[in-house]
């Protein structure tokens, strides 16, 4: 059997192969992870809730099946973001309100992952209710960036990203409304995907047709990411928006070698400031598509309404999902969440009508844009990882932001136009901090997205940058 260190450094695809050939067992992997977490997580605080007893029971039951009949993940351990219910496991949503909550039932996505051979062993840290792109909360405290422990891991899937970057997971579950899969992937040097609406089923809550937030996969490389999306996707009767599984796997698409013919790069989408170093690193990475024979141009769709539109629709989402908490548990909510709910409760029907019309117009223009370009590339975040004590980014390149989410415009604009998008590691700042490149495809275009991202990943040669041991001292 490979050593624990060799297992930790292996790819998810390699591990699944070893599980299917009986070279390793799910129990071997859980033992290796438990040791790794004990070594590094006291520095990063990525996985505050562990459930190894449950995981080992599940692993033993899975091992009663013949190899090759244990699902796509074959017994691979998976952490679930602490916004999503896992039956019998503490699920806090990062809020003191739910600090002792133990749900009786899992989200349908967790059931799907487990039915496909995933073994849930932990819950990953998240900001309160996933609000804000910096992972801290009053239940567990902050999650630290392993590349520099004084820096933010971003959010809201910050714990998931750090677990991947430090070898505490091979794959990790996350969710994304305003970049919550893409931002932490960028800050931690891993890969995170926001899939198309309905690609990944989940249990509806508060509203059947909520489409700003989606569930999705995180990994250390594009092939592993595609494997996990294969295990997460498919139609489910409990989620009316869920899409049927495609006949060709996403992993096959990632390995196809299919190249885009023409791609566009934009440093700012015409709507946001961007740190000059981040712009330079991402522009250089995008230009390297040319080495694969791809035409690279600077262009972007017209997304001028993105800030107003997202502010209104996000506030409405907070109002319908959290207004009861504001009425009954206000003293337990952080200021940013209170502000978001109150903004939603003040909205008029006219404001909602205007925002929905803006979203439709931007989506229509984006579809037209993709008639000329196969992919759109931008920075995944507009700044490098910032000091962890900053609750959010208040300004960038001389521009002060009006609220705590406006700095995320480069990702939430893509949310609004219903496109799948991933963050791919593409370089480092002069101080050694990771920078991610956002790669966007038209709606339901994950296959082309994976294929193109894998082509660029090979050109950039950064696939083996993680896992790392946490660096620096917290201050």
Residue 348, pLDDT > 60, answer yes
Determine contact, residues 332/395, Cβ cutoff 8 Å.
Answer: no
Task: Please say if 157 is a catalytic residue.
Answer: no
pLDDT at residue number 473:
56
106 in catalytic set: no
pLDDT higher than 80, residue 413: yes
Neighbours of 422 (CB within 10 A): 32
Look at the alpha carbons of 276, 153, 132, 388 in this order and tell me if their dihedral is positive or negative: negative
Whether 344 contacts 313, CB under 8 Å: no
58-110 tens-digit pLDDT: 999 999 999 889 999 999 999 999 999 999 999 999 999 999 999 999 999 99
Nearest to 204 by CA among 107, 131, 130: 107
How many CA atoms, within 13 angstroms, populate the side-chain half-sphere of residue 28? 18
Question: pLDDT tens digit string along 254-303?
Answer: 999 999 999 999 999 999 999 999 999 999 999 999 999 999 999 999 99
What is the pLDDT at residue 415?
A: 98
pLDDT tens digits, 112-127: 999 999 999 999 999 9
Quick one: which of 104, 246, 82 has its CA closest to 172? 82
pLDDT value for 1: 76
Residue from 95, 156, 157, 233 carrying the catalytic annotation: 156
Instruction: Tell me the pLDDT tens digit for each residue of 429-450.
Output: 999 999 999 999 999 999 999 9
Question: Per residue in 19-65, pLDDT tens?
Answer: 999 999 999 999 999 999 999 999 999 999 999 999 999 999 999 99
User: pLDDT per residue over 209-265, tens digit each?
Assistant: 999 999 999 999 999 999 999 999 999 999 999 999 999 999 999 999 999 999 999
Residue with structure tokens 């006219």? Answer: 350
Instruction: Say what the pLDDT of residue 448 is.
Output: 98
Percent of the chain with pLDDT over 90: 98
**Contact predicate 174/228, CB 8 Å:** no
Helix (H, G, I), strand (E, B) or coil at 21: coil
DSSP 380-445: SSSSPPPBTTSSS--EETTEEPSSSSGGGHHHHHHHHTT--EEEEEEEE-TTS-EEEEEEE-STT-
Residues 6+ apart with CB under 8 A from 341: 315, 318, 319, 322, 323, 325, 326, 333
In the prediction, which pLDDT does 474 show?
Answer: 43
Residue 95: CB atoms within 10 Å? 25
**Marked catalytic residue, from 106, 152, 180, 186:** 180
Confidence (pLDDT) at 472: 84
454 catalytic residue (yes or no): no
Q: Are 380 and 437 in contact (CB under 8 A)?
A: yes
- Give, as one character, the DSSP assignment of residue 373: -
If DSSP codes are grouped into helix, strand and coil, which group holds residue 250? helix
Distance CA 437, CA 51 (A): 34
Cis amide linkage into residue 156, ω under 30° from 0: yes
Task: Indicate the average pLDDT of the chain.
Answer: 97
Q: Residue 6: CB partners within 8 Å, gap ≥ 6?
A: none
Whether the per-residue pLDDT at 475 is higher than 90: the answer is no
pTM beyond 0.85, yes or no: yes
Residue whose C-alpha is closest to residue 130's, from 95, 164, 85: 95
* Beta pairing partners, 434: 428
Active-site choice (43, 81, 123, 454): 81
* Average pLDDT rounded to a whole number, residues 386-394: 96
């Amino acid at each position: 059997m490979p050593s624990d260190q060799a297992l930790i450094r292996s790819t998810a695809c390699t591990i699944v192969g070893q599980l299917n050939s009986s070279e390793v067992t799910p129990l071997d992997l859980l033992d290796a992870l438990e040791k790794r977490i004990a070594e590094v997580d006291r520095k990063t605080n990525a996985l505050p809730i562990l459930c190894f007893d449950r995981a080992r029971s599940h692993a033993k039951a899975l091992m009663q099946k013949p190899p090759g009949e244990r699902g796509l993940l074959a017994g691979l351990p998976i952490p679930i973001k602490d916004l999503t219910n896992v039956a019998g496991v503490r699920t806090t949503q990062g809020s003191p309100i739910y600090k002792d909550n133990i749900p009786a039932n899992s989200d349908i996505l967790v059931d799907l992952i487990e039915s496909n051979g995933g073994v849930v062993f932990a819950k990953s840290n998240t900001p309160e209710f996933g609000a804000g792109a910096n992972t801290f909360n009053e239940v567990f405290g902050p999650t630290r960036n392993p590349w520099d422990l004084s820096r933010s891991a971003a959010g809201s899937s910050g714990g998931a990203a750090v677990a991947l970057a430090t070898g505490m997971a091979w794959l990790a579950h996350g969710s994304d409304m305003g970049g919550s899969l893409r931002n932490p992937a960028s800050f931690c040097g891993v890969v995170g995907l926001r899939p198309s609406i309905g690609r990944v089923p989940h249990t509806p809550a508060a509203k059947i047709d909520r489409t700003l937030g989606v569930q999705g996969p995180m990994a250390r490389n594009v092939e592993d990411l595609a494997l996990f999306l294969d295990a997460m996707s498919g139609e489910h009767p409990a989620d009316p928006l869920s899409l049927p599984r495609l006949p060709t796997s996403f992993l096959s698409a990632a390995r196809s070698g299919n190249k885009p013919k023409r791609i566009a790069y934009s440093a700012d989408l015409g709507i946001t400031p961007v740190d000059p170093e981040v712009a330079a690193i991402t522009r250089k990475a995008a230009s390297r598509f040319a080495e694969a024979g791809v035409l690279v141009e600077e262009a972007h769709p017209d997304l001028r309404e993105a800030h107003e539109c997202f502010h209104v629709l996000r506030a409405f989402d907070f109002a319908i999902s959290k207004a009861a908490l504001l009425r009954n548990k206000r003293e337990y909510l952080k200021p940013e969440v209170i502000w978001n709910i109150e903004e939603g409760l003040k909205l008029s029907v006219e404001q909602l009508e205007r925002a929905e019309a803006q979203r439709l117009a931007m989506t229509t223009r984006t579809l037209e844009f993709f008639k000329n370009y196969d992919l759109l590339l931008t920075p995944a975040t507009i700044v490098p990882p910032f000091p962890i004590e900053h609750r959010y980014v208040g300004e960038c390149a001389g521009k002060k932001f009006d609220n705590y989410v406006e700095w995320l415009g480069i990702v939430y604009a893509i949310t609004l136009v219903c496109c799948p998008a991933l963050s791919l590691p593409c370089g480092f700042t002069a101080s050694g901090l990771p920078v991610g490149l956002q790669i966007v495809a038209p709606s339901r275009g994950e296959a082309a997205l994976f294929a193109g991202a894998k082509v660029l990943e090979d050109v950039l040669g950064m696939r083996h940058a993680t896992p790392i041991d946490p660096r620096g001292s917290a201050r």
